[in-house]
Structure 1
Amino acid sequence: MTKHPGLALGGSPDGIWGSDIHREERCRALATRGAGQGARGVVDAGHFHERSRPRRMIAAHLPSLDAMSPLHHDPSGASTGVAGRSWGGDGMPTVDGACGVTVDASLEKRILEQEVARWRLRAEQAESILRTSPAAIFLCDKTAERSRTFSEAVAHMLGYEPDHVPQLGEEVLPDRMHPDDTTRMALEFERDLEVLEDGEQLVFEYRMRHRSGEWRWLEARCVVFSRTEEGQLERYVGAVQDITERKHLAQTMRDREAALQKANAELEQRIAERTLELRRKSALLESMINNLPAAFYVKDTEGKFLLVNRRTAELMGVTRAEAVGKSVADFFPPETAAPWLEAQQEILAGGEHEVEEIFVQEDGPHIYLSIGFPIRDSEGTIFAIGGFSTDITERRRAEQEREELQARVIEAQRAAIRELSTPMIPLAKGVVVMPLVGTVDSARAQQIMETLLAGVVKQQARVAILDLTGLTAVDTRIVDALLRAARATRMLGAEVMLTGIKPQFAQVLVQLGVDMSGITTEGTLQSGVAAAMGWLQGRGRSAQDGSERARAR
């Protein structure tokens, strides 16, 4: 017990009082915090005076109360008291007085009314949420197998008005659910619901028939709401949403994804095929370039090699990898590289370059035909230089041999032509004939002289007949050539006879006043041959007669 009961009682939020029935004293209020006054003020104010209802109640009921029996009174709130007893001389307990607590019940009433109003507001808000929520919210009693609430959103999802909800009732799910989903729900949903943990969501999708006959996809999410004392599922709460559009969108996305995957697979296949084709073409091009007998290269606009084949690398004495990124000046002395650099500028200006160059190799100098050309992009801009250098040493050697052979052939042809155009025909011992056909130029005139003199010496001819029947034209040059040939022949000891002289030839001879002494002429080749044979026979008899006269002397 506290040593300062007055301080403890004074701090109590309720009014505490006591009464002595034997002394018939007024009730003394020990504390009245509920009245807002001190204890003395309550007594002085006449609370619990003799004529008041609490006093009369205490006086009337105390004798009949047992010890610690409750005593109640409610003037403006609530007053609760108990009786106290003492023991008399006869050993029987007697009621001595009472004490109690007075509580202001109006405050509790106001608090209770506020709580009721607050809960009513929450209920109205919950009802509004259920009514306006786009999702159908339900509370299902698992033991009773029935829905405790049914949101109007279900009716709206299925195309019904709110006033149709009572008619739909609890049979809305079985009657309008897709048959396939009904079977699945019976097997899976009930099974999964039994093992659902607190706080865990059970999500399932199903189809329900719309008022229009269309099947709509719904999604339900359920959680445990309450359990029995044994821990079994008692009630569960859930929300249902219409996911038809989401399903359609998902299906559309799956279709598009499938189409995209198909297109991507086809594209990858085409890329793979194209890559393989490009690799093959690249390998083919690489093989062709490397096996070219000519040196092939590609340079950028600064003259650095971008690509060289094996032949180019061999000429420069490096590997292909070592050549890339370097210029001609890195491999050749300045005097050798200078023409290449000049040609490079010419090509960059848009022209082409072709030149024969000599490279000294181990087996001697080689002649190369170098061709350079610009490489342009699709817009016509020069971005690189290409070039070939072909070893034409053997070609030049072959060409030289061919030229020499051709010259020999030509010379042989000329000799044959000379022989055919100036034939020397032996008719008899000591007589040769040279028929002249066509025209006679200076070269042929020289040939006539050479052939005539060679034939006279070779045949030991005494008479040489030049038949002019086949000549198509006669001029001073021809006459002069024939006369010089005749004089040269006479110097060899042979007589010259001209046959087949045409009238125009005779006129030219007369007009020129040519000295024909020592030259015999006949009209035809036949008469010329007869004259020559006769002349030879006559010369033979004369010689025989001379020999006989010499023997006779």
Structure 2
Amino acid sequence: MLQAIPYLLCVHDPVEQRALYENRSLARELGYAADDEDLGGLDAFVTLAHPDDQTRAREQLDHAGEGQASDSAELAYRLRKADGSWCWVTRREIVLARDGAGKPRQVMSVVQDITGRKDMEVEQRRQAEELGVSKTLIDNALDGITLTSMSGQVVYANTAFKAMSGFGDSAVGCGLTDFYAPETFRQLSDEVLPTLMKDGAWRGVLKIRRPDGSEWMGQTTAFVVVGPAGEPTGMAAFFRDITEQLRYEEETLAQMRVIQAQQAALRELGTPLIPIADGVIAMPLIGTIDRERAQQILETLLNALGEKQSAVAILDITGVKAVDGEVAAALVRVAQAARLLGADVVLSGVRPVVAQALVDLGTELRGLVTCGTLQSGIAYALKRKARSMTV
């Protein structure tokens, strides 16, 4: 039985410094040869002790020799094994017999290998430190973080969520129904929870209500927390308050709609059609003509020629700031398209500087009738109409 117990027992006489009994050899337990003389006797506990532990190991032996050993005289220290590694052991000195003067004559040393326990303690400390770091990071995260039981009760909420939800410390212990607006309950039951149970995760936007009745929009990422056996143990969620972001996007969208409406109104104002007489229309152009506006002029004019059956269209460019090759080419395209509909195009308001620019650009103005002023353009159009009626 003594050979089988997990402890190493050694009974010795501290006065004569000799071993009286041992159930197993300390040297053999540490991987050394059992007959190694250098490791025999009680000094092996000091010889093999870690340098940082040797003083305490020697003091323990000395105390036992002085009769101070007791059941509570236990020391943990490291011993060097034959392969160079270190193992942790505890050693307790128990006085079994004393002489007439009270000096101990039989002291039993009980040695237990606690390396596994020490390794576990180190790992537990490491995990505790990592958990502490992780908890610090989570507690100080900018996003709100919650951990909810499968029954829907919040068991953890970080500082950010406590603040953004308005619940403070009372957020822990609340149920899901305490946080959401009534219209969100259907979204939770019909979409969020079924997706979580099926896919293990869900992402979307939820409307969340504070205790004071105010609401905020939370960009939410939720997932199921599983245990070691893969069973669901809870639900975790990350929240980001995007209320202001959504409000800004809505305001921006509204502004864009206003701008688009204004642009549409400006396009209509920028391509006005003025009826001069039956079969004669005029389009005074003002400002800058770019590719988009040139296309609009073409579409508007062709639609008007088709609807009104006009024979002459006057394009007045008195108010156009500059005429470049692209603008000139666009005007030629308008004239060509109008001729396909049986109408003539009169280009009025051609100033000397514009005429010079058109010449310098070498633009082919075939199909265009040019006039210096809008008045002369109208006069030409009316004469053109009169001739066509006479014919």
Query: TM-score normalised to the size of structure 1?
Result: 0.30
* Structure with greater proportional helix content: 1
Please identify the structure whose Cα radius of gyration is greater: 1
